[in-house]
Amino acid sequence: MWHAHGWKTGDGAGVRALWVRIEKPGDEEPLKFAFSNLPAGTRRVAAVRRWKSR
């Protein structure tokens, strides 16, 4: 995910992307969101393990 501020003028160039994790725990429960700045090369399994450990 990239931030939207300054995207038209290129002010966001060079900014690191963010991971966005969206989880739907059950039918009756609301969605859960988590943002992270893990390195781009992080494997999905490793990222999920880290998020779940918090």
48 or 10: which leads in pLDDT? 48
Does residue 48 register a pLDDT over 70?
A: yes
| DSSP label of 4 | -
pTM for the predicted model, two decimal places = 0.52
Q: What pLDDT does 14 receive? A: 67
| Amino acid 23: pLDDT | 87
- pLDDT tens sequence across 17-41: 778 888 888 889 999 888 888 887 8
DSSP per residue, 16-48? PP-EEEEE---SSSPPEEEEE---TT--HHHHH
Burial of 19 (0-12, 13-18, 19+ CB in 10 A): middle
Position with higher pLDDT, 9 vs 25? 25
Number of neighbours of residue 46 by Cβ within 10 angstroms: 11
